[in-house]
Amino acid sequence: MSGPSDEEGFALAEVLVAFAILALVMLAMMRAFAGTTATLRATAAGEARLELAERIVAERRAEPGLSPGRREGVEEGLAWTSVVEPVDGAEPRPGFPRLLRLVVAVGRSAGEPAQPVLATLVLAGG
């Protein structure tokens, strides 16, 4: 039998250091996954706003006799605004359709200012 060694307890220190490193790596991974989750939520919210804007554009374009004006509403918890205005310099001759600009803006909630999401040109009347 030999006497006490200078390396006694060294294995325990190695294990503790390994656990500390593992904890730091796991913490970094959790932060990365949390950031990914937040990004996915923001993307899903953006897709919901875009889908609503596309639906409103389709509804407004299908209206017979579309005329300049502003409409607002709240659907699925999202506040939206649609604005139809004549395009400058596009005055039609009598009997021809006129060119209108349709802009739809959707906000995250009723209190938040809506951000423009879609804009298109529409021929109306005739």
Q: Locate the DSSP E strands across the chain.
A: 69-75, 78-86, 98-107, 115-124
CATH, range 10-124: 3.30.1300
What are the beta bridge partners of residue 30?
none
Contact 100, 121 (CB under 8 A): yes
Show Cβ contacts of residue 79 under 8 Å, excluding neighbours closer than 6 positions. Answer: 72, 73, 106, 107, 108, 109, 110, 111, 112, 114
How far apart (Å, rounded) are the C-alpha atoms in residues 52 and 77?
11
Low-confidence spans in the chain with pLDDT less than 50: 1
How far apart (Å, rounded) are the C-alpha atoms in residues 1 and 126?
108
How far apart (Å, rounded) are the C-alpha atoms in residues 90 and 92?
6
Which residue in 43, 61, 52, 123 sits closest to 81, CA to CA?
52
> Given this model, what pLDDT does residue 53 score?
92
